[in-house]
Amino acid sequence: MTHAPATHPVHGTWEPEPAARWEDAFLSGNGHHGTLTFGDPNDDCVIVTHHTLVRPNGAEHARPPQLAAALPDLQDRLLGGELTAAEGFTDHRPLQWVQPFHPAFRIRLRRPSPAEPSRYRRSVDYTTGETTATCAGWTGRGFVSRADDVIVHQVTTPDLDISLDHRLPGAPVGLAVGHGAVLTPDGALLTLRARYPGGERAYTGVTLVAVTGGRTALTLPGVRITGARSVLLLTRVRRHTGELDVIGEQRALAGLPLSYDALLDRHLALHRTAYDRVTLDLHADPAERALPGSELLKRPRSTALLERLFAAGRYHLLSSSGLNPPRLPGLWTGDWDTAWSGAFTHDANVNLQTASATAAALPEVTEALAALIHRQFDDWRENARAVFGTRGVVAPAHSDGESGLTYHFSREYPLHLWTAGADWLLKPLVDHDESRGARDPRTAAALAEVARFYEDFLTRTDADGRLVVVPSYSPENRPGNAGWGALNAAMDLSAARHALLTAADYHPGPDADRWRALADRLPPHRTNADGALAEWAWPGLRDTYDHRHLSHLYGVWPLDEINPYDTPRLAAAAHRALELRGAENDSAHGHLHHALIAARLCDGRRVAHALTQVLEGDFFHASLMSAHYPHRDVYNADAAHTLPAVLIEALVHSTPDRLVLLPAPDPALPSGELRGVRTRFGAELDLTWGPGGARAVLKPHRTHRIELRTSSGDPRSLDLVAGEDHVLTLGTW
């Protein structure tokens, strides 16, 4: 069957000319393979990526520092007032970055006789994952199949040269590359094998070319096709050591249906089902909705832009999640020199990018995060043993997807001292369990390991007998009057308390009693002289306000430890801390982290301001993928993937026992519809709002009593019955 392009412009974007930069190329992916498509009808380029492609740089042999024996002395010195003592708590190794993420190659599709394009248009359809480019005499379309884990590309033009080309920016000089091309009964098989310098680790790309009509001839290292009605390309990449069974790969590709539409049908059963679960309609101007993305980006206050960025964010987040959750650049890069190694950066970015997974009904994203965590759990155990001499687990601040060991740290960034990471990374898995009403045994086991770490680590006390987290690190900040490693960082206190209490909930019995008692001995948060929640609860440590991270407000978001309803005084102190926080280097993740916290604190003005900083800061490429800094500086998925979470949190917030409707609405969005949101008490929710009020329809999957909160009025109880819709009508908000 054939599939029409998206009929609603919200669910895709388009451009009137090919991409001139890889950052503007349209994206597709299935959480394993990714593509960046330029759409040039005469010399098209499809860059191929894969989550496993990381370049050896020495990190593959790195181990965590063996520091456990020196820990008691460090704790004595910090507790004794030597506030720079942790700066020497290292084995003095140089900073080792994780293995850098890189592209595989580009598929080159050249017309032997170039023509001047007329009636050109390229587009991406979020509902199908297809990128399409058309002009007179040429059509190219493609997607990355979630069903068959294959890159599918079809070109309709009579004459075409096809090759696989590794020559992308930053490719190492010592990369050993071999090409292969052989004719097959249906067309040809192209291979590209690249071996990294100094070892046997390699990757191989295999493209099966199936030609309908016409003739195929070898033009090494590629093929030339003449007189064809259409050409279908099926591509896979495999990371390996030694030789790859290319014949086996060929047979596997040849065993797939050699039909674009048949392959698309199989893919849509997974992709469209996931994408269609949640939609946002802000009643935007139809004329603005019809604009190309690059033109819409010039109207940062347009509701049509927010609609499209919400849709693009969910699409890109889904497309980059499968084998792993998204990296710093998602699943895509056109350059071997990816910023910050294209890592999984755990101390902020991974959780920000996946913040909408539960509410925006993308369990595929949570499952990808869980896969990364559980695959690396033995490494987390080794971190705890080596650095802290404990049982249990400690998560690293950075990972390349292969190793979960802690080895990326330095004096200025003592990331090996960060103990909150395991709770931070497991929190989305707990939210997922709450939403579906069932507890994953793997999450339960992981939480028990985190609790065991705290049992062994939390042994020091202050003068009042309260436990002390020592050493303690607040990513990636330091007190104004102390070293990078300090005592009782607010994030560490919140994480320890949350991990112990959550583990106890998952494991009733003697262990639970012990863990709850340990949590009760942790000190409370401190309010400083400015009336703000202090980043370090240890008396005398001065706050450093101008910083991109907001780790100290972890208790507000993503935890529910601090909120305006149960802890109003702490919430006021947290709000003051948010007011005092600077933007430092204007990173996108800093602005949107600020917005997520502001939404939890019911401050719609701050949410709107943070969004404006991003929308007016030129953070988005024409692909609607984002940048880390203003003016499209450094390709990075933080803004693209986090923005849907911000919009949802401003409209709906839920806990296992509470629903907050319109906690932080943006006055610039006077009406709209948010449909399909999942709550943590096991219900789907459709919300409509406008000048006359709001209406919410709850569709519970389990019977439960919750508390309803709105921006005005007293809380009230709602008794939800599984299978029975519950309609709520609110007055003017």
In DSSP notation, 369-437 reads: HHHHHHHTHHHHHHHIIIII--SS----SEE-SS--------SSS-GGG---HHHHHHHHHHHHHHHHT
Say what the pLDDT of residue 10 is.
Answer: 82
Report whether 663 contacts 653 (CB < 8 A): yes
Q: What is the CATH number of the domain that holds 257?
A: 2.70.98.50
Say what the pLDDT of residue 137 is.
Answer: 85
Q: In this structure, which amino acid lies at residue 571?
A: A
Say what the pLDDT of residue 551 is.
Answer: 96
More confident residue, 315 or 411: 315
> How far are the Cα atoms of 2, 49, 147, 253, 266 from residue 257, in angstroms, in the given order?
15, 23, 12, 9, 10
> 656-710: per-residue pLDDT in tens?
999 999 999 988 899 999 999 999 999 999 999 999 899 999 999 999 999 999 8
Residue 113 CB coordination number (10 Å): 7
Q: CB burial class (10 A; 0-12, 13-18, 19+) of residue 706?
A: buried
Measured in degrees and rounded to the nearest 5, phi and psi for residue 496 equal: -60, -45
Is the same domain home to 148 and 77?
A: no
Residue with tokens 């569709």: 699
> What's the pLDDT band for 281 if we cut at 50, 70, 90?
very high
Say whether pLDDT at 7 is over 50.
no
Say if 290 falls within a structural domain: no
> What's the pLDDT band for 9 if we cut at 50, 70, 90?
low
> How far are the Cα atoms of 9, 165, 231, 678 from residue 216, in angstroms, in the given order?
39, 19, 11, 51
Q: Which helix (H) or strand (E) holds 148?
A: none
Q: In this structure, which amino acid lies at residue 334?
A: G
Record the tokens describing residue 561, joined without a space: 């430890």
Say what the pLDDT of residue 8 is.
Answer: 57
> What's the pLDDT band for 5 if we cut at 50, 70, 90?
very low
- Tell me how far apart the alpha carbons of residues 696 and 339 are, in angstroms, rounded to a whole number: 43
Say what the pLDDT of residue 322 is.
Answer: 98
- Of 239, 274, 309, which closes a domain? 274
For the chain, what percent of residues have pLDDT higher than 90? 94
Q: Residue 99 contacts by C-beta under 8 Å, 6 or more apart in sequence?
A: 54, 55, 56, 57, 59, 60, 341, 400, 402
Say what the pLDDT of residue 692 is.
Answer: 87
Is the same domain home to 488 and 535?
A: yes
pTM above 0.95, yes or no: yes
The DSSP symbol for 666 reads -
- Of 245, 274, 303, which closes a domain? 274
Say if 3 falls within a structural domain: no
Strand partners, 165: 106
Say if 557 falls within a structural domain: yes
Quick one: which of 353, 343, 332, 354 has its CA closest to 27? Answer: 332
- Tell me how far apart the alpha carbons of residues 342 and 386 are, in angstroms, rounded to a whole number: 26
Q: Which helix (H) or strand (E) holds 598?
A: helix 588-600
Residue with tokens 């994780």: 98
The DSSP symbol for 105 reads E
Is the same domain home to 523 and 417?
A: yes
Q: Residue 280 contacts by C-beta under 8 Å, 6 or more apart in sequence?
A: 306, 307, 310, 311, 644, 647, 672, 673, 674, 675
- Tell me how far apart the alpha carbons of residues 23 and 36 are, in angstroms, rounded to a whole number: 8
- For the chain, the distance separating the N- and C-terminal CA atoms, rounded to the nearest angstrom, is 47
> 160-207: per-residue pLDDT in tens?
999 999 999 999 999 999 999 999 999 999 999 999 998 899 999 999
Say what the pLDDT of residue 411 is.
Answer: 87
Quick one: which of 547, 534, 555, 642 has its CA closest to 596? Answer: 642
Residue 315 CB coordination number (10 Å): 27
Is the same domain home to 237 and 301?
A: no
The DSSP symbol for 214 reads S
- Tell me how far apart the alpha carbons of residues 217 and 219 are, in angstroms, rounded to a whole number: 6
Say what the pLDDT of residue 4 is.
Answer: 39
Strand partners, 726: 698
Q: What is the 3-state secondary structure (H, E, C) of 542-557?
A: CCCCECCCCHHHCCCC
The DSSP symbol for 532 reads S
Say what the pLDDT of residue 93 is.
Answer: 94
Is the same domain home to 236 and 357?
A: no
Say what the pLDDT of residue 118 is.
Answer: 87
The pLDDT of 65-78, averaged and rounded, is 98
Say if 4 falls within a structural domain: no
Strand partners, 533: 527
Q: Please provide the average confidence, as pLDDT, over all residues in the chain.
A: 96
Is the same domain home to 257 and 368?
A: no
Q: Is the dihedral of CA 557, 560, 564, 568 positive or negative?
A: negative
Computed on alpha carbons and rounded to an integer, the radius of gyration of the chain in Å comes to: 26
> What's the pLDDT band for 733 if we cut at 50, 70, 90?
very low
- Of 240, 274, 308, which closes a domain? 274
Residue 540 CB coordination number (10 Å): 11
Is the same domain home to 321 and 205?
A: no
Q: In this structure, which amino acid lies at residue 532?
A: A
Is the same domain home to 260 and 315?
A: no
Say if 288 falls within a structural domain: no
> 549-605: per-residue pLDDT in tens?
999 999 999 999 999 999 999 999 999 999 999 999 999 999 999 999 999 999 999
Q: Look at the chain and report how many structural domains it folds into.
A: 3
Say if 287 falls within a structural domain: no
> How far are the Cα atoms of 33, 132, 471 from residue 207, in angstroms, in the given order?
13, 19, 52
Is the same domain home to 575 and 472?
A: yes
For residue 114, give the 3-state DSSP assignment: coil
Say if 570 falls within a structural domain: yes
> 708-732: per-residue pLDDT in tens?
998 766 899 999 999 999 999 987 5
The pLDDT of 607-620, averaged and rounded, is 97
Record the tokens describing residue 215, joined without a space: 């003739």
Is the same domain home to 63 and 135?
A: no
Is the same domain home to 419 and 482?
A: yes
Say whether pLDDT at 222 is over 70.
yes
Determine the structural domain holding residue 223 and report its residue range. Answer: 13-55+104-274
Quick one: which of 566, 471, 454, 461 has its CA closest to 519? Answer: 454
- Tell me how far apart the alpha carbons of residues 436 and 610 are, in angstroms, rounded to a whole number: 31
Number of helices (H), then strands (E), belonging to the chain: the values are: 17, 29
Say if 43 falls within a structural domain: yes
Is the same domain home to 645 and 681?
A: no
> What's the pLDDT band for 220 if we cut at 50, 70, 90?
very high
Say what the pLDDT of residue 116 is.
Answer: 83
Q: What is the CATH number of the domain that holds 541?
A: 1.50.10.10
Quick one: which of 178, 236, 248, 179 has its CA closest to 208? Answer: 236
Record the tokens describing residue 446, joined without a space: 């992981």
Measured in degrees and rounded to the nearest 5, phi and psi for residue 205 equal: -105, 135
